[in-house]
């Protein structure tokens, strides 16, 4: 099959790839912003802050999926797409990012804003640190 690039549908050959490129770039920018870690400095020992954060997670019904000396990862199943928080412990600060759970079956969840439960959790963590 030979495609006539001067025919009436030739604009589609240009518009479609450019649209796909722009959409892909926009989605990449959204995802890279969501994956950046935000941080808050702490004045207490990180073990004390860590135990407070674990208590807050248990209180708010978050399930801890991964826990070691440097990272803590928890998910909260709720209405819509579940949220996932990753907390990184450093000497004088904690860093976190709050995203939708990538293991969830909803492939378009990354386009939705994170849930209220995740935002409330962040506020509690900031208040306790």
What is the average pLDDT score of the chain? 80
Identify the top-confidence range among 28-37, 38-47, 105-114. 38-47
Alpha helical stretches, state H, 36-78: 46-59
Distance CA 98, CA 36 (A): 9
Residue whose tokens read 């492939």: 107
Q: Which residues of 21-49 are buried (b: 16+ CB within 10 A; e: fewer)?
A: eeeeeeeeeeeeeeeeeeeeebeeebeeb
The first and second tokens of residue 54, run together, are 């674990």
**pLDDT band at 88; cut points 50, 70, 90:** very high
pTM of the predicted model over 0.95: no
Structure token digits, residue 44 = 């207490």
Question: Tens digits of per-residue pLDDT, 9-20?
Answer: 667 777 888 999
Query: Does 123 score more than 60 pLDDT?
Result: yes
């Amino acid at each position: 099959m030979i495609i006539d690039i001067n025919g009436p549908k030739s604009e589609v050959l240009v518009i479609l790839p450019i649209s796909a490129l722009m959409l892909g770039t926009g989605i990449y920018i959204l995802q890279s912003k969501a994956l950046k870690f935000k941080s808050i400095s702490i004045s207490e020992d990180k073990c004390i802050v860590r135990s407070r954060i674990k208590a807050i997670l248990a209180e708010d019904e978050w399930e801890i999926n991964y826990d070691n000396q440097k990272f803590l990862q928890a998910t909260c199943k709720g209405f819509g797409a579940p949220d996932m928080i990753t907390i990184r412990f450093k000497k004088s600060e904690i860093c976190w990012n709050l995203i939708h759970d990538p293991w969830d079956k909803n492939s378009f969840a990354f386009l939705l804003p994170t849930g209220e439960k995740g935002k409330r959790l962040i506020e509690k963590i900031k208040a306790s640190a």
